[in-house]
Structure 1
Amino acid sequence: MSKTWLVTGSSSGIGLAVVEQLLERGDRVAATLRKPQALSHLKTRYGEQLWTALLDVNDALAIRAVVHQAFTELGRIDVVVSSAGYALFGAAEEASDEQIDQQLQTNLLGSIQLIRACLPFLRKQGGGRILQVSSEGGQLAYPNFSLYHASKWAIEGFVESVALEVAPFGIEFTLVEPGPTRTNFGAALVRPPAMAEYEQTPAGEVRKAIAEGTFPLTGDPQKMARIMLEIVDVDPAPRRLLLGSGAYERVRNALVQRLAELEQYQALAMSTEVD
């Protein structure tokens, strides 16, 4: 049975792959992006099956207006995919205040406002699914991605809480956590001027690996999109969907290490209760 989807950040990467596959299989798509002409070739091919709107997720008022328009004109939206993103690449003290604001505004506040705007409509129609695109970087961290990780860890916490709030209304969430993917990853990174002090540090090593093309980008965006389409039919919705064999190993190792440290200090944790 075909569904109607709302997809943000649909002009490139995984978002574009999701839109292409949805249209090919016959679903209806409301695609938002900053440059609607980027999907003109799909609009020509699929006509009314593809609904598009200009949207910058940094504009909360615009988010509410576009979401209202999409639900009003399309009648029902079964699945929302929040995939608009911004990736700031640099050591924490290298980034400018403006870049930090942009990172948090796009990945965190934009995603929050999109979800908030959709909830009343999903609640009124009796439920729906929200796929929030996060990253393996929502559960672990690389040097030089500190502000990016801040946005991903934060949106995961937000989703964890909101999922509990709206579960009685039939609204379910899945955090989609891709590993490094073969999109325009390197070219899309926003890079503040590098400080020489970090050249011989882990941050410098990651910078060098990306510059030389040795940072492993093993994820296939088409395969990831296919899994995202399939996961909405799984009941109940998984809270997290990790994508990539390398991502699986890295996140598993990070969780094992965190659990080991938690258990190491169990006695101290328990010693702080009121007598």
Structure 2
Amino acid sequence: MTAYDFTIELFCRVDDVLKEQTKHVLAQLYPSEVVTLGLLQALRGEGNCAFYRWVEKELATLFPRLPERTRLFRLFVQFENLCQQFLAQPTLFGVADSFGIELVHPWRERRTQREVARKGLSNHRWIVGAKLAVVTDDCGQIVGFQVKGANVHDTAFHTLIETWKETMIVLADQGFKAQDPAPKKKAQGKKKKAKQTQGDEAEEVLPTGPLAPTNPVNLKICPKGQWNERMIVETVFSLFTSVLHLKKLTHRLLAPLQARLAYTCAAFNLCTAWNGEVKLQLASFAL
């Protein structure tokens, strides 16, 4: 299937889901067209300038009213919330894990205060970027996601897991386990008065600081070698890296990065369930 034919079929599937979305009277593109272009960029896995040149060259007849480049990518951020309609429904069991994304070179860290990139660990090595946490169903389809700086711990994504505390049990590794609160220690104080006997000593409880956050009720921490069904999320991350080229991006601000990841998750769900049956294969959709 050529890129031209694939774009037409992709637009038809997107428009069936977003058929209730109306076009603004001054807009040049329908919401379905904007979402389709966002999905195409996620599948190509390239930067903004390269993707815009490709659309002008290959799909000019399909999008004759294509807006200017910067305006188009602002529209991607504006219609990012429509990607929520392409996320999968929760199942009885799900899997959660985090994925590190490199955004800038370490020498360019904190050039501006607005950038989302932070220094953190990913796959046992240092990166300057962001961390994407995804929750998948038992088939590998993405149910939800959240993005934060790479310097946060995996427990910062507990709020994402708590979203389905009534409907889904989420399996995760030891990185999502909240630290057990430190036991209270007791210390012996000084004698209150000189008249007290030698054995009469006051006891004082040392401050232990704020307690560590607790695990969500629907989170199940899986030790290494157990519940290997959660390895399905590693297949998802492998497709993110090899086909969607998500390991290295060039976004600096949170809003464009979150929009890019939203379109990526939506494109992943659409393509893996293209024929009605979920198959974790994306090689045939690489443009």
Same fold (TM over 0.5): no
TM-score, structure 2 normalization: 0.28
Q: Which has the larger radius of gyration?
A: 2
TM-score, structure 1 normalization: 0.28
Structure with bigger helix share is: 1
Q: Which has the higher contact order (CA 8 A, sep 6+)?
A: 2
